[in-house]
Amino acid sequence: MDVTGRGFEEFTFEQRTAVVDAYPRGADFSSKMIDAFYAGMKHRPSTTFGTFNDDFLAYKDPSFERVNVCSIMLNSRWG
C-alpha cells in the first residue's frame, strides 16, 4: 500500500494516519521514490526484464528500450 496505494481502503483512517505519522513522506515523495528506484537500476537495465522495475527506467530514461517477451518467443529457434 505504501508505494502504489493498493489496499488503501482496507485500512482505517486512524491506521493510515498512524503510519504516516511514524514514517512521514515529506514533499514530493512519489517523485523521490521513482528517482531512488531509477538510481539503483540505471546501471543494470537488463536485470529489470520481467519485473515492474523496467517501468522506472522507461519513465526516467527516454532512450531505454523494454525487452518484449513476445518478441523473444517469436524470434526464438522454437517459435
Q: Contact 15/27 with Cβ under 8 angstroms?
A: no
Alpha-carbon span 21 to 11, nearest angstrom: 15
- Percent of the chain's residues with pLDDT above 70: 94
pLDDT band at 78 (very low <50, low <70, confident <90, very high): low
- Render pLDDT for 42-77 as a digit per residue (tens, 0 to 9): 999 999 988 999 999 999 999 999 988 888 878 877
Q: Where are the domains of the chain?
A: 8-74
Q: How far apart are CA 37 and CA 45, in angstroms?
A: 12
Question: 29-41 and 53-60 helices cross at what angle (nearest 10)?
Answer: 100
